[in-house]
């Protein structure tokens, strides 16, 4: 009889062990599912942040493109007007020795209005007088032997004026440089 009691006592403990094992397995699978969901959430969050950053970069890029379009939109037209101002300057030089005449005054008036128009639209003349040669603004047409060593690299003469539209060079100044 003792043996029967012993088996009866072990049977309930085995059921409890099985239930406890099932609960621990269920708890373990729940923990694994939670960890998998956390990893998936982290991946989605990272993906969202990258997408948000890409969108912000896109907005900045399109805003800059619009700004540049407004700022430099008339560049082609203004660049095509530069030979006209060159012709006006040549006319002013040729009329310099003429006595005062309506043609000379009219030419000067138109020239000054034209220069004012270019300045209002952001076109600036590139300085060349007594400046050092700078490849960002000047194009060397000829090298001229320098009289003094300190003149080496300086601009001796400007053959054709250069112009900038705001901060962008639209025509390089063609110059003679002391070598």
Strand order in the sheet with 138-144: 138-144, 173-178, 155-160
pLDDT at 81: 93
Task: Name the token pair of 36.
Answer: 């998998």
Query: Is the CATH number 2.30.22.10 carried by domain 123-179?
Result: yes
Assess whether pLDDT exceeds 50 at residue 1. no
- Report pLDDT digits (tens) over 49-107: 999 999 999 999 999 999 888 888 888 899 999 999 999 999 999 888 888 888 889 99
Q: What is the pTM of this model?
A: 0.66
Task: Indicate the helix (H) or strand (E) that contains 174.
Answer: strand 173-178
Least confident range of 7-16, 122-131, 133-142, 161-170: 7-16
> Residue 10: pLDDT above 60?
no
**What does the buried/exposed string (b/e) look like for 56-90 if buried means 16 or more CB atoms within 10 Å of the residue's CB?**
eeeeeeeeeeeeeeeebeebeebeebbeebeebee
User: In this predicted structure, what is the pLDDT of residue 20?
Assistant: 66
Average pLDDT, whole number, for the chain?
87
H helix intervals, the chain: 2-72, 75-94, 102-120
Q: What is the pLDDT of residues 101-134, one digit of tens each?
A: 888 899 999 999 999 999 999 999 999 988 999 9
pLDDT of residue 125: 95
Average pLDDT over residues 138-147: 92
Query: Residue 138: how many CB atoms within 10 A of its CB?
Result: 22
């Amino acid at each position: 009889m003792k043996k029967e009691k012993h088996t009866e006592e072990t049977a309930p403990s085995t059921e409890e062990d099985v239930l406890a094992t099932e609960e621990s397995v269920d708890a373990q699978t729940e923990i694994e599912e939670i960890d998998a969901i956390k990893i998936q959430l982290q991946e989605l969050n990272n993906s969202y942040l990258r997408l948000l950053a890409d969108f912000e970069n896109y907005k900045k890029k399109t805003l800059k493109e619009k700004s540049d379009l407004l700022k430099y939109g008339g560049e082609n037209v203004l660049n095509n007007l530069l030979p006209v101002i060159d012709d006006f300057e040549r006319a002013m030089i040729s009329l310099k020795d003429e006595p005062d005449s309506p043609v000379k005054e009219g030419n000067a008036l138109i020239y000054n209005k034209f220069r004012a128009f270019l300045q209002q639209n952001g076109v600036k003349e590139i300085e060349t007088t007594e400046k050092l040669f700078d490849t960002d603004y000047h194009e060397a047409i000829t090298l001229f032997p320098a009289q003094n060593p300190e003149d080496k690299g300086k601009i001796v003469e400007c053959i054709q004026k250069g112009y900038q539209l705001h901060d962008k060079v639209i025509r390089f100044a063609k110059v003679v440089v002391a070598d």
